Amino acid sequence: MGFDGIKQPKIIQINNWLQLRRPDDKEWKKAIEWYNNEKVMYYSEGITDKIYDMYIIERMYTYLSKIGELYFIETLDDGKWQSIGDVTLAESNLPIVIGQERFWGLGIGKKVVTKLLERATQIGIREITIEIYSYNERSKRLFESLGFIKIGETEKGESYSIKL
C-alpha cells in the first residue's frame, strides 16, 4: 500500500479548535521555530548538538510528503488558525512534533494521532509501524495508549506497531 493515487485532504478537522492542514511548501519556513528548539530536537530527532536550518527542513518535508501525508497541526487562537507542529501519516512512520512547548501535555498529540489512525483506516492502511527513542517516555505512553504494541528493539529505541 502506498500513497500514490490517494488524494490528501487540504484540511482534516479534529474539533472546533484543532485541525490538520496540508502545508504549501512556501509555508515550511514556519517550522524553523520548532526545529530550532533544543527540546523539540531532542525528543523528535534524538539530537542535542544541532538545530535544523531551512535546507534540512525542506529535505525532511519533501521526503515525508513522498512517503505519506504531511500536515501542520493547527490550533485556533483568537479566531485565527496558528501552526504549532507537524505530523505525517505513513505506514512506516508516524512522526509528530508539537513545536511549541506551551502546547505540550494538553492531549493534542493523542487527538492528532487518533484522527490519523481513522484516516489510515479510511484509505486502506492495515498496519503502521513506528520507532520511538528509548528515552522518549511521553511518546511511548501516547502510542501505547492508542493501541500500539512494542514489537522489538532498534539501535536507538523500540519499534511499535498497530494493526488497523
Domain 11-163 has CATH 3.90.950.10: no
Q: The whole model's pTM is what?
A: 0.92
Contact 84, 98 (CB under 8 A): yes
Q: Could you give the count of Cα atoms lying within 13 Å of 66 in the half-sphere of its Cβ? A: 6
Q: What does the domain layout of the chain look like in residue ranges?
A: 11-163
Distances from the Cα of 87 to the Cα of 6, 110, 151, 153, angstroms: 18, 12, 22, 23
Give bridge partners of residue 20 from the DSSP assignment. Answer: 12, 73
Contact 40, 97 (CB under 8 A): yes
CA distance 102 to 99: 9
Tell me the pLDDT of the chain (164 aa) as tens digits. 457 678 999 999 999 999 999 999 999 999 999 999 888 888 888 877 888 999 999 999 999 999 999 999 999 989 999 999 999 999 999 999 999 999 999 999 999 999 999 999 999 999 999 999 998 999 999 999 999 999 999 998 999 999 99
Give bridge partners of residue 163 from the DSSP assignment. Answer: 127
